[in-house]
Amino acid sequence: MIEHASGNYAIQRGGATYSCGVRALQGYEIHHITLTRPLPLAAALEAIATHLASSGRPPQALCGLELRCPAPYSFEGFAAFNEQYCQLLRKHHMLSDAQDLNHQNPIARTNVFPLAESLTEQTVYAFSYTRPITGTSAQPSFVISGAGELRESALDKAAIVRRGETSADAMEEKAACVMDIMESRLNALGVHWSDVTAANIYTAHDITPFLKTVILDRMGSAGRLGVHWHLSRPPVASIEFEMDMRGVRRESYEALL
């Protein structure tokens, strides 16, 4: 974990593109906002910067982004997009502490291809930011980045669990791998399944054969809240199953523009 002081949250190391997860520091909480009208990436970051300023928060308070892409990328295309993405974050000073963070990008991120929409460019679906707590709360506040069925979370074709297979047992194995990753990220943030308030699944394949045994049973008490299944594909071709999670007290739906 690395403390991101100007953003008022700590991060779990991920890399130069995104962190594996974030947790608000003491005295702060994470507010999650879903956009009622998704915006193109550049316009959305402009609007988010304005929203943070009007809320009395610095640009570094942005701690989570949920993106939607027009189609799955190749591994090479994904790397090219990530460079463009980071340049936009720097433009708005959202990565100003990157040097102090040992070149770690502090912002948690999910980026998936929605099958129910027809997109022509990258858009922002939702975002999260830290703000001072009003009142007192012992409830942890965190966001965990999206992860697909990649062993050791390595962005490499060879790391994909049962690459090229989408049978029921292959999908179950992929889901189990992703659940392992989610649990390891919870542990790294010092939180538990019982602290999760929203779990999202992104896949185009049927999850019902293993939804209870592999996912809900393992989530324990958090399973009572169910999961949100987005009919989507992960952002890189050949990856078939992705999840992200969060534990927050503040959820809202807003149109920034």
Mean pLDDT of all residues in 145-164: 89
Query: Rounded to an integer, what distance in angstroms lies between the CA atom of residue 212 and that of residue 76?
Result: 36
- Range name among 67-71, 102-106, 199-203, 244-248 with the lowest pLDDT average: 102-106
How far apart CA 22 and CA 13 sit, in angstroms, is 9
Q: What integer is the mean pLDDT of 195-223?
A: 97
Show the DSSP H helices in 190-256 as ranges: 217-219
Mean of pLDDT over the chain: 94
Residue 100 has pLDDT above 90, yes or no: no
Nearest to 82 by CA among 41, 120, 115: 41
Assigned CATH topology for domain 2-254: 60s Ribosomal Protein L30; Chain: A; (3.30.1330)
Domain boundaries, the chain: 2-254
Q: In what order do the strands lie in the sheet with 21-24?
A: 2-4, 9-12, 21-24, 142-148, 242-247, 198-203, 228-233, 108-114, 62-68, 123-132, 28-40, 250-254
- Four-CA torsion 232, 199, 247, 60, nearest 10 degrees: -20
Q: Is the dihedral of CA 193, 180, 111, 12 positive or negative?
A: positive
* C-alpha–C-alpha distance, residues 87 and 144, integer Å: 22
Q: Please state, in angstroms and rounded to a whole number, the distance separating the CA atoms of residues 43 and 257.
A: 9
CA–CA separation, 224 and 227 (whole Å) = 9
Res 101: pLDDT: 75
**pLDDT higher than threshold 60 for residue 210:** yes
Cα(223)–Cα(214) distance, integer angstroms: 11
d(CA 207, CA 105): 32
Q: What is the pLDDT of residue 156?
A: 81
* Contact between residue 188 and residue 20 where contact means Cβ atoms under 8 Å apart: yes
The vertex-75 CA angle with 74 and 76, nearest 5°, equals 90
The answer to whether 50 touches 94, Cβ cutoff 8 Å, is no
